[in-house]
Amino acid sequence: MLLLAGCDMPSQWEKPGVERAALDSDTLHCRHVGTQEALRAYSDLLTFPFSSPPFFAGSWRTTRDLASRSVEADRARAESWFTADCMRGKGYERASSKV
């Protein structure tokens, strides 16, 4: 299982000289890449039969639900990380927050 720290996605990316249309296109492409890579990385766990014995029994329901949510949360973090990695690979940086 992948453990990724500090992989929260920024709301904006920036790269000097890049127009909004190119930024939007690159963001869409990297989100697709991120989704595909995360699904590939977590394919074994996403298809794990959490509804099969022993997880389907009533006493195991809490364990099953926690395990399923944990796998989905890890996959979502991986997707964000892979997307950010793709954007950095294209030369983008996180937009500085303007407070």
pLDDT tens track for 41-63: 988 877 777 666 665 566 667 77
Query: Could you give the count of Cα atoms lying within 13 Å of 36 in the half-sphere of its Cβ?
Result: 7
Question: What integer pLDDT is reported at residue 19 of this predicted model?
Answer: 94
Given a cut of 90, whether residue 89 has pLDDT beyond it is: yes
Q: For the whole model, what pTM was predicted?
A: 0.73
Structural domain count, the chain: 1
> What is the residue range of 61's domain?
18-92
Asked, for residue 82, whether it belongs to a domain, the answer is yes
CB-based contact 64:51 (threshold 8 Å) = yes
CB-based contact 84:26 (threshold 8 Å) = no
Asked, for residue 11, whether it belongs to a domain, the answer is no
Asked, for residue 98, whether it belongs to a domain, the answer is no
Residue with tokens 């995360």: 38
